[in-house]
Amino acid sequence: MDKATAKRPVESKAPPLLVAIVGGSGAGKSWLAKKLQAALDPDAVHLSLDDFYRDRSHLHPERRAKMNFDNPRAIDWRTVERTLNDLRNGRETRLPRYNFKTHCRHTEVNRLAPKPVVIMDGLWLLRRPSVRGAFGLKIFIECPARTRRSRRLTRDLRSRGRTRASIVEQLSKTVEPMYARFVAPQQKWADVTLRHDIGEQEVRRLARELRGRLMMHPKVNGE
């Protein structure tokens, strides 16, 4: 298949194929999601569970900073379910926008129209049966704690306005304990488990599999 053919949009009347990418903080979920979206362009969109954290604007900033954001209860699951239901039914949906520096939502929302493949990454997408059941392909990324800690430290220092001391404290008090309790057990529900050192070859293999699933659907291309 040449490049021109590979980039041709899939004319599908089928429901979108939803793909979940799950793993610990720093495992490479967002990296893989963005790589797959680019490989499947223009037939894929990407969203993140990170934008669905509950708004904490009603709390004092000091109290917000002390909350456990590594517990799945920090997520607005009702809005997650509404969003996935919209996308599965081919409807444009509204996505919240979250600010990790203030722990508040932006007043503006993003709008997302479904495409043949919808890729979502997040820490806990496979825990709730009502959410897990929406995904046609469930991927879990297995990553050593040392690698996850290093990546989390770098990310939070660069983009989330955190101090090194606060990040290290959070890693030891909540991130790793919550990983063991809530994130790691989800691997049993995954269709595919990947190592953290995912390369371009693995991305291409997954992209081919996803395109194959689209082409095999009975409603694709008017069949």
pLDDT digits (tens, 9 = 90+) for 131-148: 999 999 999 999 998 898
**Stated pTM of the model:** 0.85
d(CA 95, CA 97): 7
Q: How far is CA 62 from CA 52, 57, 58, 69, 95, in A?
A: 21, 11, 12, 14, 27
Structural fold of domain 13-213: Rossmann fold (3.40.50)
Please say whether the dihedral angle defined by the alpha carbons of residues 78, 28, 63 and 157, taken in this order, is positive or negative.
Answer: negative
Give the model confidence (pLDDT) of 27-56 as tens digits: 999 999 999 999 999 999 999 999 999 988
| pLDDT confidence band for 9 (50 / 70 / 90) | low
- Inter-residue contact 52 to 121 (CB < 8 Å): no
d(CA 169, CA 160): 15
In this prediction, residue 56 carries a pLDDT of: 86
The domain ranges of the chain are 13-213
Q: Cβ atoms within 10 A of the Cβ of 121, count?
A: 26
In this prediction, residue 217 carries a pLDDT of: 61
